[in-house]
Amino acid sequence: MSHASAGARHAQVRAARVVRAAGAALLLYSYLWGLWSDQRGVRLALVDETREWVSRPLGIGEDGGPLGIMLLLLASGFTSVRASGAGRSVRDRLVRVYLPLVVGAAVAAALLLAGGDVLAGRDTGELSPAGAFGDVGLINYLAPGAAPVLALGWVVCVELITTLTGAVISRSGGRAVWWTPLAQLAVVGVLAAFCDPSSPLALLLCFWPLAVIGQLVASGTGGAAPLWPLVLAGLAAWGLVAWTERAFPDLEGWWYGLTACYAALFFTALVRADLGSTRRSVGDWFASRSRWILVFTGTIGWALASALSALPPLLALVIASAATLLASECGHRASTALRTAPVRGQA
């Protein structure tokens, strides 16, 4: 068991940021360009050709959206262990994860009040602005029959859990490196075995093991635990994804097991590789705004694309994407200012 050098750890964190950036870009493409155009009956050559040449042959479903979410969760699991290990405040990290959900839910509610159109979850009924309270309280992602106004808010739920468990792994060390991921997998297994097949928890349970794999990779590449048991735990996590995919009828047929395999292999290969350059790039920009992109794609982007229906669809989507990215930039800057304000005040 060897401890990774500071340089290697830095390269690994950078790789996780690249993965997070890829995840955010895939999310934006999948839900805005793929799903929105499908729901409007719009045919886009770019989307059609990508499906024909990439998605179908490789078995990547839903235009890569689930792959994007899985990459985000892998990076999140990894960072939750590394960031806590680097001495960053857990509270600060929780705020950083949770704030976009609050803002996103508020924006969704405002859009609904204004008669706008937002992305609805897979099995949700009539959306109401009051649903934002349930989103902020996270109840909408756990209770049967709820209608979250922020369809992808459940990803933030997993990230919040991961932030807490990552802090436990990193701060407790020792056996926590083992029991924390295994306990999470046990929880996923028990919940998936006993919860209602039509539960809104299905997606959350199916994707949660990816965050656990991210934590396992962080422990393995950081030299905190021997490799082979971690590999076995990672295989168990993948097995849970494959099993939950079968256990919940709504999830069957989306090939999440294969997608999870791609995501985990890509993430692990990249973290073990040396990406070299440390200069800031577009990837860094996407990585740091990823949660804002997650919440604004289905709200601001979706609503704007729908509102611009008089324009050619391609132009409407370009404008909607640009607006999503702009809003993400604003969200990121505002949250950074908010989080650093007390520090500046003390100084």
Partner 1 sequence: MTTPTTPPTAGGGRSEYLHGLDVLRVVASAAIVYTHLASWISGKNRSWPIGDLVNAVTSPLHLRPDLAFIGVASFLLVSGLVVTRVSLRESPGEFLRRRAVRVLPPLWAALILAFAVVSTGLVREMAPESAATALHLLNNAWFGPYFVGGAVLLPVVWTLLVQLAFYAFTALTIPLLRRWPWLPSAVAAALISVTTSLVPQGAVGPVRTVVAFLPIVFIGQLISLAQAGRVRLGAAVALGAVHLLLFVRADLVSRGIFTPGGGYHNVLLMIVLLVLLFMSANGPVARSRWTRALARRTYSVYLVHMPIGFAVLELLVDAIGASWALLISVLVIAVATELFYRAVERPLERLLRRRRRRRADLERPVDTDEPTPGGNRDGLAGRGADAGRSARQGADIA
Crossing angle of helices 201-221/6-28, nearest 10°?
Answer: 160
User: Is the Cβ of residue 179 or residue 254 nearer to partner 1 in the bound state?
Assistant: 254
Closest distance of CB 34 from partner 1, Å = 19
Sequence-distant (≥ 6) Cβ neighbours of residue 127 within 8 angstroms? 112, 118, 120, 147, 149
Closest distance of CB 312 from partner 1, Å = 28
Closest distance of CB 136 from partner 1, Å = 35
Alpha-carbon span 136 to 149, nearest angstrom: 10
266 part of the interface to partner 1, by CB under 8 A: yes
Alpha-carbon span 49 to 216, nearest angstrom: 36
DSSP 45-86: HHHHHHIIIIIHHHT--GGGHHHHHHHHHHHHHHHHHHHHHT
Region binding partner 1 by CB under 8 A among candidate stretches 57-65, 71-79, 151-159, 197-205: 57-65
Alpha-carbon span 165 to 329, nearest angstrom: 28
- Indicate which single residue of 43, 59, 171, 312 sits in contact with partner 1 (rule: CB under 8 A): 59
Closest distance of CB 270 from partner 1, Å = 8
User: Is the Cβ of residue 48 or residue 274 nearer to partner 1 in the bound state?
Assistant: 274
* DSSP H or E stretch at residue 132: helix 131-136
Residue 248 backbone phi and psi in degrees, to 5: -110, 115
**Residues in 309-338 that interact with partner 1 by CB under 8 A:** none
**Using an 8 Å Cβ cutoff, are 274 and 11 in contact?**
yes
**Residues in 156-215 that interact with partner 1 by CB under 8 A:** none
Region binding partner 1 by CB under 8 A among candidate stretches 167-175, 201-209, 237-245, 318-326: 237-245
**Using an 8 Å Cβ cutoff, are 35 and 119 in contact?**
yes
**Residues in 245-264 that interact with partner 1 by CB under 8 A:** 245-246, 255, 257-258, 261-262
User: Is the Cβ of residue 37 or residue 268 nearer to partner 1 in the bound state?
Assistant: 268
Region binding partner 1 by CB under 8 A among candidate stretches 53-61, 129-137, 146-154, 332-340: 53-61
- Indicate which single residue of 57, 253, 342, 345 sits in contact with partner 1 (rule: CB under 8 A): 57
Q: Report the candidate in 181, 182, 207 with the shortest Cα–Cα distance to residue 192.
A: 207
User: Is the Cβ of residue 180 or residue 259 nearer to partner 1 in the bound state?
Assistant: 259
Closest distance of CB 180 from partner 1, Å = 24
Closest distance of CB 246 from partner 1, Å = 8
- Indicate which single residue of 232, 273, 311, 326 sits in contact with partner 1 (rule: CB under 8 A): 273
227 part of the interface to partner 1, by CB under 8 A: yes
Q: Report the candidate in 274, 271, 325 with the shortest Cα–Cα distance to residue 296.
A: 325
145 part of the interface to partner 1, by CB under 8 A: no
Alpha-carbon span 237 to 77, nearest angstrom: 13
Closest distance of CB 66 from partner 1, Å = 14
Closest distance of CB 58 from partner 1, Å = 5
Alpha-carbon span 347 to 344, nearest angstrom: 5
13 part of the interface to partner 1, by CB under 8 A: no
Closest distance of CB 265 from partner 1, Å = 4
Cα angle 96, 102, 104; round to 5: 100
Rg for the chain, CA atoms, rounded: 19
Tell me which residues touch partner 1 (CB under 8 A). 8, 11, 53-54, 57-59, 227, 241-242, 245-246, 255, 257-258, 261-262, 265-266, 268-269, 272-276
